[in-house]
Amino acid sequence: MTTLAVKKNDMAFCPGCSHGMVLEHLSAALDRMKLTPTDVCIVSDIGCIGISDRYLDSHTFHGLHGRSITYAEGIKRARPDLTVVVLIGDGGCGIGTAHLVHSARRGADITVIVCNNFNFGMTGGQHSATTPVCAQTPTTPNGATDYPFDVCQTVGANGASYVGRFTAFDKDLPQRLETAIRTPGFSLLDTWELCVAYYTERNPLNRKTLSELSDSMELPLGELYNRPRPPHPAEPASRSAISKTTEPSNNRAPITLSWPRRTEFCVAGSAGQRILSAVGVIGKLAVAGGLHAAQSDDFPITVSRGHSVSNLILSDKPIFYTGVDNPELLLVLTEDGVRRVKLWERLSPHALVLAETSLNLPDTPAQIERINCKTAEKLVGKPSAALALLSYAIVRGQWLDENRFRAIAEAGIRGKYREDNLKAIDAGINLAHTGFESA
Ligand code: SF4
Ligand SMILES: [Mg+2]
């Protein structure tokens, strides 16, 4: 089953850009390996090649410029069953050189495809770490004077298992990719391409002269290293404050939660309310109870002010799509939260909005119920109020039976904040009985 969701000509790359060809080769390699989209995670960062994730129907992860290798290594450690492939440009390679070196040294079992077109295509063709000597770019108008970065020898000298330099026009690129992916340890393909919008506009390079460029730069094409080495032993998942399974010390059977379907929650408030932590506690409890959970957070880069929004998906089945489009619960605590949430009009009439009583809300078809944040703060203190209110919401909306909720919390919560978290959950459950006025 192919992982390529669209044809090359329908991709947003400039006509004649080599990126689409590389994606086709990659898809063919994955087909050859009979990998399904859920077996694969493609990791990308910034640059034209970074938009590739929208064209692949596998797992994808998109992040900061030059950091894709770090994400890929983390993903592989957490999910050693996945085939993890990085798509990075020469720009990202220069920015993230240290990651390349250390990932190779550690023998991370990932495959890196360097989509190397010798310039920063997305931002206008500026020279990059791999720009050939004498090349004309907007930032080297008299010709580049620095020798290009030899990415292959760099990772090869640091322990990479499989390294090769090829071009996007090589017909056997799918086979090369398959070999790279199958070789245990770190593998890298420096894949030479044409940026037709900028690089080839200024420099006489075409598919035929790529090999001449290789000769002139003394950067040979072909397979350079093929020496499989054992992958990095997968490290155990980091110990979280909440155990992965509820293994009660008193020999009782682990507690499992039943959950009928995928359910999306959204909690929206402000920095300092520990909203992300509260959602994390509930997500980890769900996992401890045998469910699947996915959390995604939204906050400004200036962490300590502005909105703080956290989305949670719980399901009895694996969660492949982590977008929250249709939450059944929207818990809104502050004006920042009201402003940040954009889906008011789209909420289902069956969705439950629990909103702090002082807030003005946009029109929504959802059912609205008012809550009093001050009451929760008085009961458990400001840092634990969000967890108390989320616990209230979960029982109020009948997503969890309160006895099971208490039991899983008692068995599953560990660590420094155990007592505070248990107190907050207990207070939230009690609020569902007493209401906010008489609490
Ligand atoms: S700017 Fe260059 S790298 Fe980007 S899509 Fe166009 S041809 Fe490809
Ligand atoms: Mg580039």
Say yes or no to pLDDT of 238 above 60: no
Protein residue with its CA nearest to atom 2 in ligand 1: 195
Q: Read off the pLDDT band of 232 (50, 70, 90).
A: low
Residue 283 pLDDT = 96
Question: How far, in Å, CA of 62 to CA of 343, rounded?
Answer: 24
Fold of 8-226: Rossmann fold (3.40.50)
Residue 3 pLDDT = 74
Distance between alpha carbon 237 and the CA centroid of its chain, in Å? 17
pTM of the complete model beyond 0.75: no
Pair 72, 37: CB distance under 8 Å: no
Say what the alpha-carbon torsion angle 167, 173, 178, 184 is, to the nearest 10 degrees.
-20
Question: How far, in Å, CA of 165 to CA of 173, rounded?
Answer: 10
pLDDT digits 0-9 by tens, 297-324: 999 877 778 999 999 999 999 998 889 9
Pocket test for ligand 1, best of 8, 9, 14, 203 (most atoms within 8 A of CB): 14
Tell me the C-alpha to C-alpha distance, in Å, between residue 418 and each of 240, 260, 292, 411, 422: 12, 28, 22, 10, 6
By percentage, how much of the chain surpasses pLDDT 90?
Answer: 83
Pair 263, 328: CB distance under 8 Å: yes
CATH 3.40.50.970 residue spans of the chain? 8-226
pLDDT digits 0-9 by tens, 137-176: 999 999 999 999 999 999 999 999 999 999 999 999 999 9
Q: Higher confidence at residue 414 or residue 369?
A: 369
Pair 141, 153: CB distance under 8 Å: no
Strand ranges for 322-400 from DSSP E: 329-332, 352-356, 367-371
Residues in the ligand 1 pocket, defined by CB under 6 Å:
13-14, 17, 19, 48, 117, 121-122, 195-198
pLDDT digits 0-9 by tens, 92-118: 999 999 999 999 999 999 999 999 999
Question: How far, in Å, CA of 176 to CA of 182, rounded?
Answer: 10
Ligand 1: centre distance to CA 124 (Å):
9
Residue 233 pLDDT = 61
Average pLDDT, the chain: 92
What is the total residue count of the chain? 439
Residue 243 pLDDT = 46
Q: Read off the pLDDT band of 5 (50, 70, 90).
A: confident
SS3 of residue 101 by DSSP: helix
Question: How far, in Å, CA of 195 to CA of 119, rounded?
Answer: 8
Pick the closest to residue 293 from 314, 266, 279 (CA basis): 314
Say yes or no to pLDDT of 250 above 80: no
CATH 3.40.920.10 residue spans of the chain? 263-434
* Class of domain 263-434 as given by CATH: alpha beta
Ligand 2: centre distance to CA 72 (Å):
20
Which of the 8 DSSP states describes residue 252? P
pLDDT digits 0-9 by tens, 6-38: 888 889 999 999 999 999 999 999 999 999 999
Q: Read off the pLDDT band of 242 (50, 70, 90).
A: very low
Pick the closest to residue 246 from 404, 80, 79, 417 (CA basis): 404
Ligand 1: centre distance to CA 276 (Å):
38
Q: Read off the pLDDT band of 244 (50, 70, 90).
A: very low
Which of the 8 DSSP states describes residue 33? T
Residue 228 pLDDT = 85
Pair 40, 86: CB distance under 8 Å: no
Pair 147, 129: CB distance under 8 Å: no
